[in-house]
Structure formats: C-alpha cells, structure tokens
Amino acid sequence: MTDWEALVEQAEGGPVSRGSMFGSQGLRTGRKFFAVWWHDQLVLKLPPDRLQQLVTAGTARPFEPMEGRAMNGWAVVGPSADWPALVDQARAFVEFQQS
C-alpha cells in the first residue's frame, strides 16, 4: 500500500493533474478522472475485465457512493493491492478512452 500523497506525487505531471470529484481529491488526465481518494479509500476507474479480476481476487469491490448504487467501471481498491501499478492502469485506460 502507498499513501494518497505518494500516489499523486508519482502520477502528477504532463496531462495528469489534481482535481475535486465527489468533494474529494482526485487525479485526472485531461478532463477525465481516473483516481479518487474517497473517505480514506482509493477508488479507480478500470476496464471491466480488470475490475472483475480484482473483485474476484478479493482486492477490490465495486464503488457505491450511495449504498446499493454501484458506479459503473469504478472500484474501491483494498490496501493489499499494488496501488501504484493500478493507478497507472487506470490512467492508461482513461487516456485510451479519450483518444
């Protein structure tokens, strides 16, 4: 696990900047968010197959900003996951969607 500030420091630069989403700190590439620090939890936008792999492995769960309402494509990633690698994957996924 890495803390949020360390993740931001590693990811910021070029098209990646900080912003606010859901009233929380987030990282975006261009205008699209790929990571959010929500209630002291890392939330990432990931491809459906990768998200399902992480959920099946027990290292993530679907993101529900309101209980019972999962936000499509977003997952809360547990502390046992490789956060820096997953942040990179989320950024690449969002960048690909924008191209």
pLDDT digits (tens, 9 = 90+) for 78-88: 999 999 999 99
Q: What is the pLDDT of residue 47?
A: 96
Rounded-to-integer distance, Cα 39 and Cα 57, Å: 23
Q: What is the pLDDT of residue 99?
A: 74
* Cβ pair 8, 27 in contact under 8 A: yes
Q: Edge-to-edge, what's the strand order for the sheet holding 32-38?
A: 16-21, 24-29, 32-38, 41-45, 74-77, 60-62
Q: Which residues of the chain have pLDDT under 70?
A: 1-2
CATH number at residue 19: 3.90.1150
Q: Which domain holds residue 73?
A: 4-98
Show the 3-state SS of 28-62: EECCEEEEEEECCEEEEECCHHHHHHHHHHCCEEE
pTM: 0.92
Q: What is the pLDDT of residue 1?
A: 47
Q: What is the pLDDT of residue 2?
A: 61
Left if phi > 0, otherwise alpha if psi is -120 to 50, otherwise beta: which for 86? Answer: alpha
The domain tally of the chain equals 1
Q: What is the pLDDT of residue 10?
A: 93
Residue 11 CB burial class (10 angstroms; 0-12, 13-18, ≥19): buried
